[in-house]
Amino acid sequence: MVHFAVIGLGNPGLNYRNTRHNLGFWMLDVLAQENKSQFKENKDYHAHYTLMAHEDKKILLVKPTTFMNESGSYLSSLLSYFSCSTKNVILVHDELTLPFGDLKISNKRGSGGHNGVESVISHIGNTFIRFRIGIGAKPLPQMKLSEFVLSKLSQSERTLIETHKDRFIKAFFSIFDNGLSATMNFINQTQRSQQPQ
């Protein structure tokens, strides 16, 4: 049994590394590194996964190896195997409606047009927690949305997102320790206080 399952969304393969759509994978790599955990592949569940410990809790980290629009296909059986309720699933994904590097935590929402989130909802419902990392709106009207989300982060964006790692990690640990409502309030208040007056 695990207390939480953290599922990062992304596309498998080197071609998609460091793209906006793969920030879910990036975040899980950060958590695994923080805990000195190594991912291993499970072909039955089409995922890379590892277990990490936080205080007295066991946390499952999952990166689906299906492509983004099939992200939810094997999650139900994987969660059943580890006896994890969908209410204790934290889905990490990129978010177009947020400024780059911003964080919003929510739950019981629609997909917002995100194909990976849509796939997860269609397979396990929408009771999970959403950990949404902003990638900003696409810069050019003529640029296709798919081109934007699959574009590589610039060097300055990669540097910027690295500076947010500690804040993101603290947000996860707050969910584990303090619950969803307290964490949502803390994140929202923190980001409001950081905005220019």
pLDDT tens for residues 55-74? 999 999 999 999 999 999 99
Whether residue 109 lies inside any domain: the answer is yes
| Mean pLDDT along residues 2-19 | 96
CATH of the domain at 24: 3.40.50.1470
Model confidence at 188: pLDDT above 80: no
Residues annotated as catalytic are 21
Q: Determine the structural domain holding residue 69 and report its residue range.
A: 4-192
Residues β-bridged to residue 52 = 59
In a domain, 167, yes or no: yes
Q: Check pLDDT > 60 for residue 10.
A: yes
Whether 105 contacts 183, CB under 8 Å: yes
Tens digit of each residue's pLDDT (9 = 90 or more) over 20-48: 999 999 999 999 999 999 999 999 999 99
For the chain, what is the domain count?
1
For residue 108, what pLDDT is reported? 82
- The structure's pTM equals 0.94
Sheet of 129-134, strands arranged across: 40-42, 47-54, 57-64, 4-8, 89-95, 129-134, 103-107
In a domain, 197, yes or no: no
Give pLDDT tens digits for 93-138: 999 999 999 999 998 888 888 999 999 999 999 999 999 999 998 8
Question: What pLDDT was estimated at residue 194?
Answer: 60
What is the reported pLDDT for 127? Answer: 95
From residue 174, how far is each of 19, 170, 177, 183 by CA, in Å?
A: 27, 6, 5, 6
Which residue from 89, 94, 86, 43 is spatially nearest to 68, judged by alpha carbons? 94
Residue 104, C-beta contacts closer than 8 angstroms, at least 6 positions apart: 95, 98, 130, 132, 134, 187, 188
> Going by C-beta distance under 8 Å and a sequence separation of 6 or more, which residues neighbour residue 18?
26, 152, 153, 158
Q: Collapse the DSSP code of 10 into the 3-class scheme (helix H, G, I; strand E, B; otherwise coil) and give the result.
A: coil
Residue 137 lies in a domain: yes
**Amino acid (one-letter) located at 36:** K
Residue 120's pLDDT is what? 97
Residue 159 lies in a domain: yes
Residue 111 in any domain: the answer is yes
